[in-house]
Every structure is written in C-alpha cells, then in structure tokens.
Amino acid sequence: MINSLPPGFIMFIGAFLIPFLPKLGRQVYMVFLVLLSSFSLFNGFGTHLTINVLDYNFIINHSDNLSLPFAIVFHIAAFITIIYGSHKDDWKENIAVISYAGAAIAALHAGDLFTLFFWWEATAFTSVFLILGGNTTRAYRAAFRYIVIQVGSGMFLLAGAVLFLYSNGNALLGQMSIDDTSGLLIFLAFGIKAAFPFLNGWLQDTYPEASEVGTVALSSFTTKLAIYALARSFSGTDILIYIGALMTFFPIFFAVIENDLRRVLAYSLNNQLGFMVVAVGIGTELAINGAVAHAFAHIIYKGLLFMSMGAVLYRVGTCKASELGGLFKYMPITAVCSIIGAISISAFPLFSGFVAKSLIMSSLGYEGLSLIYFMLLFASAGVLHHSGIKIPFFAFFAHESGHKPKEAPLNMIIAMVIGSVLCILIGIFPSVFYQILPYSVEYQPYDFSHVLSQLQLLTFAAFAFICLWHFKIYPPELNSTVLNSDWFYRRMFPAVISNIVDGLKILNEKFSLNCFRNYNIIKNFFHDIMFENKVIDREAGFDTQIVLQIFGIIVFILIFIHLK
C-alpha cells in the first residue's frame, strides 16, 4: 500500500512527528523521510492510486516522464536544505521545510485538478511559516501578503477546475487552452505562482524576509511547481513566449540597483523563470527538455547562491552589499561555493547552466524566433552582471567592510559543497543529465559555435562591468528601497481605495444633507400653501401630516430621477 502513495506524501504526514524528537534525531528522521519518499520514484510510470468519492475519481498518484525529473530534483533540494539547516534547533522550521517539500513533490503526481488544488494550497500554508521564521516585523507583514496571494492563486485554480469539470465531464490534468474560461482561470493561477510580470511582487517581497534556511527552501519548490504545471497544461501556448521574454528582461534592471543581495537573487530567480516560460511557450520536445533541464539546474545553482548568502547573513548579520566586502579572507569556502554558483547561473561552459540553457537557445533558433533569441541573449549578459559578478564581488571582494566573521558552520559547508559538485558534474556529463529529461533528443551542447558564442557573450559582459565599475558609472550600492510591482498592491491600490472610500463618505454625507434640506423645503412649501391659504382645514377628519410627508417624498423621488 505504501508504494501506491504519491512521493512526498510520507514527508508531508511524517513532518508532524518532528516536535516529539530531539534535535539530532529530527535531522536523521527528516533525511529518512526524504529517502523513503524517493523510493516511490522507482514504481515506474502510470497511475498508482485512484480514490473514488461521490462518483469522482481523484488521481492521487500518477507518474510520467515529465513529473520524474522534477521529483528527482525536489528530493535533492529537500535533502540539501535539511543538511543546510541542521545547525538550528527550531522544530517549527523543520516541520515547515519537510511538509512544504512533501506537498510540492506530491503535487507533481496529481493526476486531476482537484488533487492538484489540494497540494497547491498545502504548499502555500506550509511555506508561509518559513517566511514567519524570519522573526521580524517585515517578515510578518510579508507573510500575510504572501498567503493572501498564494490562496488567491488557489481560488483561481479551484474555480477553473469546477468550470472545466462542468464543461468536459472530467478534471484531468492535461493540455488546456486559454481560449476557454476554465483554461484562462487555471492559466492565471499558474501565472501567479510562476511570478508572471506584474504578478511577481510577492516573490521579491517575501523570499528575502525569510530565515537563511527558509529562503533556500522557498527558492526550490513553489515557482518550479508552477513551471511544471505550465509545461503539463499549456505547452505550446504562444503568449508564454512573450510573457517569458518580458520576465527575463525587466528584473535585470531592478537587480542591478538593488542593495540587498538576497533580494538581488530573488530578482534573478524571476529572470531565470522567464527562460523556462519561453521554452514552455515554444512547446517542442527540445524546448520542453530545455525548460525541465533549466528548472533542474536552476534549483541547484540558485539554492547554492542563496545558501552562500544565507551563510553570510548568519555570520555577519546582513546581506546588504553596502555593508559587506572583503569576506573572502574569512569565509573562503563559502566564497568559492558562491563563485561556482555564480559561474553556473551565468552559463559558463563545463557548468550546469550552460548545458541547460543551450537547449532553450537552440530551440529558439530552430523555430526562427530571432527577436526573442536576442532578448534572451541580452538577458543572459544581464545575469552575468547581477548574479555572476555582483553577488560574489560585493560580498567577498569589493572593499573592506571591517567584518571578520568565522567560516560558515560545517553543515552549511557540506550542503554548499554538495550543490557545487552537482553544478560541476551536470556541466561535465551532460549526456547523463539529459537521460532523465522527458524526451529523447540527440543534442550536443559542446558544439564549437555554441561554446564560442557563449564565451564571447560572457567576455563582453564582464568587460562591460569592469568599464562601468572603473569609470564609476555602475550604480553605487546604497541602503535604499527599490520599488517593484508589489508597490501597486502594497501602496497604490490601498491608497486609491482609501481615497475613494473617503470621497464616497463625504459625497454621501453631503448628498444626504442636501436631500434632507430639499425634502424639508418641499414639505414646508406645500405645508404653507395648504394651511396658510386654507386649502386644507386643520380640523379635517384625517392626518394631514402623513399626506404632506408622502407628497413631499414623491416629489423628491421624481426630482432625483430627473437629475439622474
């Protein structure tokens, strides 16, 4: 029976025993849960568990060539995150990490929209505790905004699932169209979680506010689950190409001027998601392979970069570039691991980013999408600037900050070394890496033209950074706040709504007062005509006051209708 349960389920359920275990026992237990969950990946493809409720089949465990690579890397990310956070004695964070990872893995194996919805919301409610783990006022406020947006995404998914069931007689998770209302609602749900343009503010708003461990976990699962869902349901949807291109483009400018290095990585994460979204939009086998490969590699090298900055935060107490520098002498292992992550995300040959991103760029070339190709080429140069150079340079070199911290704790170093080794192995042995991708496509990333063009691009980008830095044109690192699209719902929308409400209150008060005055004027006018001119006798045998009131109301209503 246990083999029929979806991978991740045992992690999600088993997390609730964590508070009853001692610290060391918790770490061993969590690793055991991840290993036990990973055994389910060997069950093979197909549907392994279906539950019928009220004549509806909930497909709880379905595995295929698309879910497998995501499930593998999700288990790897969970394992590395557990090791990275084992220095902390915080059972609440331990529960959040393992249940969040378990929910994300189980979501990969949902075969219908309602099962997906359950795990979709489970990832939201478990991950919010990682943000609360930041234990600051900013973290608490960010967590509240995060859960509202994530639950909102789930509501779009549920509404779309209900409409899809009503229209098609089933709610199977498969290819959909945005031309249908149900498909459009589900597309929006996935888009929110994938941090589409103008729906992305929650990502940069929340990830940097979590604890050093929480940020590593957050960077691994939520957005990649959305990429998986898009690849499952909307591959080949043309609009994704343009949405993804915009995603790769605009975060670059925010990242360059941002001072908080973990927030720089959050913008960079948004940029990297754009490459995956473009590939899903192309929808060919090569492109889908590229999206999956990039998601796989990205989880590891982005996690590595977040781990290195988390180690700096843990030892120094800040991740602001203006307050860092010169840490290479005191945290050399962390610095080397950060550089490996930076080289990988910049897609240097012999590193994981190159063998993943090459698939996407080649698929663009084969489809003749020249404009999008050059947009992503520019975005690749931007990645080298803000993640490949800025992160390690300002944290570990640049200027002397006066900080003399210890090297990161041993468990953090082990986690970072594992991530670094994986980045290198994937880059050196791409053929082995490609074997786990959804489609069997013969592709050789180390073609002379690919390597030469990439090296030219990286050399040009590095030279541009050196020139900008030397001539003091590069934006200085300042302790400032960079406004993003979250400003719309954090500042503009509340301010606009508040002003509208205040205006309506004033208008209502004035309108009510004028109505009252007009009513009294009309009533008194007819009262004077009737009584002063003896039209109606006071001694008459009926209530004249009621008659006057009714008459005045009727006249006022007629005047109001005419004015309207």
Q: Is residue 298 part of a domain?
A: yes
pTM: 0.86
pLDDT score at 467: 84
Provide the b/e sequence for 56-75 (b: ≥16 CB within 10 Å). Answer: ebbbbbbbeebbbbbbbbbb
Q: Is residue 525 part of a domain?
A: yes
| Same-domain status, 329 and 387 | yes
Cα gap 247→514, rounded to integer Å:
53
The answer to whether 550 touches 527, Cβ cutoff 8 Å, is no
The DSSP result for 397-419, as a single string, is SSS-----PPPPPHHHHHHHHHH
| Same-domain status, 437 and 309 | yes
| Same-domain status, 475 and 558 | no
Q: What are phi and psi of 146, to 5 degrees?
A: -60, -50
Written as one letter, the residue type at 95 is: I
The answer to whether 88 touches 149, Cβ cutoff 8 Å, is no
The predicted-structure confidence for 83-100, as pLDDT tens digits, reads as follows 999 998 889 999 999 999
State which of 437, 465, 480 marks the end of a domain. 480
Cα gap 222→101, rounded to integer Å:
9
With CA atoms as reference, report the closest residue to 346 among 390, 308, 306, 287.
390
Helix pair angle (212-233, 67-84), 10° resolution:
180
| Same-domain status, 466 and 533 | no
Residues of the chain falling short of pLDDT 70: 1-3, 475-483, 485-486, 489-490, 508, 510-564
Cα gap 23→94, rounded to integer Å:
10
Q: Is residue 122 part of a domain?
A: no
| Same-domain status, 320 and 412 | yes
The answer to whether 196 touches 279, Cβ cutoff 8 Å, is no
Q: Is residue 547 part of a domain?
A: yes
pLDDT score at 428: 95
Q: Is residue 274 part of a domain?
A: yes
Q: Which residues share a beta bridge with 291?
A: none
pLDDT score at 525: 58
With CA atoms as reference, report the closest residue to 190 among 206, 205, 173.
173
| Same-domain status, 345 and 461 | yes
> Which structural domain range is residue 445 located in?
235-480
| Same-domain status, 390 and 468 | yes
Q: Is residue 58 part of a domain?
A: no
* % helix, strand, coil for the chain, step of 5: 75, 5, 25
pLDDT score at 513: 64
Cα gap 554→519, rounded to integer Å:
10
With CA atoms as reference, report the closest residue to 186 among 202, 201, 168, 203.
168
Cα gap 267→484, rounded to integer Å:
10
| Same-domain status, 392 and 313 | yes
| Same-domain status, 407 and 457 | yes
Domain count, the chain: 2
C-alpha dist (Å) from residue 461 to 265, 395, 448, 467 = 18, 20, 20, 10
Q: Is residue 9 part of a domain?
A: no
Q: Is residue 409 part of a domain?
A: yes
| Same-domain status, 300 and 439 | yes
| Same-domain status, 522 and 459 | no
| Same-domain status, 398 and 525 | no
Query: Residue written as tokens 């279906």?
Result: 50
